[in-house]
Structure 1
Amino acid sequence: MSIDHTNTEENNRRQLLLAFDHDGPQESIEALQNYYSADFVRHGDKGDYDKERLADGLSKLYAGFPDLKRTQHDVIVDGDRVAYRWEATGTHRGAYLGVRPTGRPITARGIVMCRFENGLIAEEWASWNRASLLHDLGIIPLGR
């Protein structure tokens, strides 16, 4: 007997999109409470961290880019995993990554894979192009 994963996969996809259907820092923190498991772990280039540390990072991100807009592309679901690439745009109006506000527009891009458990995001593996962001801020040249 085969198990039909279609409904679970579609629910995971929908939950992921709902988790990012917000505007601003307060709604992003609420999304963490609503769509991420209590024992959530994110694996990133600076090691692993939990929901509290992710919330702190989001607060800093929105402080640096108050008009931040994020879009998900190529959402791919396979069982309990949902992968997507994202693009974020905003204007550098506050300090971020130790850089004082420049007033410059930025575009950042990355890829995330999530693991769902009981309908919530339990784990993420994230990668993004920090050098491109620093280029947009005028910190490092990239020749593009």
Structure 2
Amino acid sequence: MKRIFAASAAIAIATCPAAAEMGPEAARATVAPFYKALNAQFAGDSADLIRQATAADWVSCRGNNLCNSRDEVIAGIAQRLKSVPDLKWEIKDVLVSGNQVTIRGEATGTPAGEFMGAPHSGKSFKVMSIDVHTLEGGKMVRSYHIEDWIGAVRQLTTN
């Protein structure tokens, strides 16, 4: 079994030499504009930062077939930045496998009003995210993501 996996990995690397050469720092630099766009500090530049990091046909998926286009994501992020005016998203860990980059991130913020059904309390949240990005030509072409928004709501509503 190990031999089959190793052979498959070698074939994948041979067919995608640029990805095979990408280390964690290069991967971080490639996706960094996207994560910068998620921060309230850069809300005015958010759309341009997302366009910088993604291909025109990039999709972001929160489920196997629940994907949004780049323009839909830009609109959604703009809304999230309005509802959490101090939102900060940080890259915590980077893992590279071929042309896929997995990011463990952390988001913190204090909603300005009701947030995902939680009444405004003035409390802050801290949640973890896991994103798997497929890169081609130095751009993100597809992303799968999961965030612990239920945990955020729990933090906002418990004493």
Normalised-by-shorter TM-score class: 0.7 to 0.9
Percent sequence identity is 21
- TM-score, length-normalised on structure 2? 0.76
In structure 2, the partner of 1:133 is: 152
Structure 1 or 2, whichever has the larger Rg, is 2
TM-score (norm 1): 0.83
Listed as ranges, the matches of 1:110-125 within 5 Å are: 110-125=129-144
Q: Which residue of 2 aligns with 1:18?
A: 33
Alpha-carbon distance between aligned partners in 2 of 1:26 and 1:52, rounded to the nearest angstrom: 15
Instruction: Kindly state the Cα deviation for residue 12 of structure 1 after the two structures are TM-superposed.
Output: 3.4
Cα distance change on mapping 1:53 and 1:96 into 2, 3 Å: farther
Alignment length (residue pairs): 139
Do the aligned residues in 2 keep the contact of 1:64 with 1:101 (CA within 8 Å)?
A: no
Structure 1: unaligned runs, 5 residues or longer: none
**1:33 pairs with 2:48:** no
Paired with 1:95 and 1:72, the residues of 2 have a C-alpha distance of 26
- Cα shift at 1:8: 7.6
SS of the residue 2:141 aligns to: strand
Separation of aligned partners in 2, 1:128 and 1:7: 26
Cα deviation per residue 1:58-117 (whole Å; 9 max; x = unaligned)? 112111110111111110112211001111111111343344533211112110000011
Shift of 1:14: 1.4
Which one has the bigger helix percentage?
2
CA RMSD of aligned residues (A): 2.4
Q: Comparing 71-80 with 46-55, which one deviates more in the overlay? A: 46-55
1:42 correspondence with 2:57: no
In structure 2, runs of 5+ residues without a counterpart are 1-13
- Partner-residue secondary structure (3-state), 2:57: strand
Give the conservation status (yes or no) of the 8 Å contact 2:115–2:153.
no
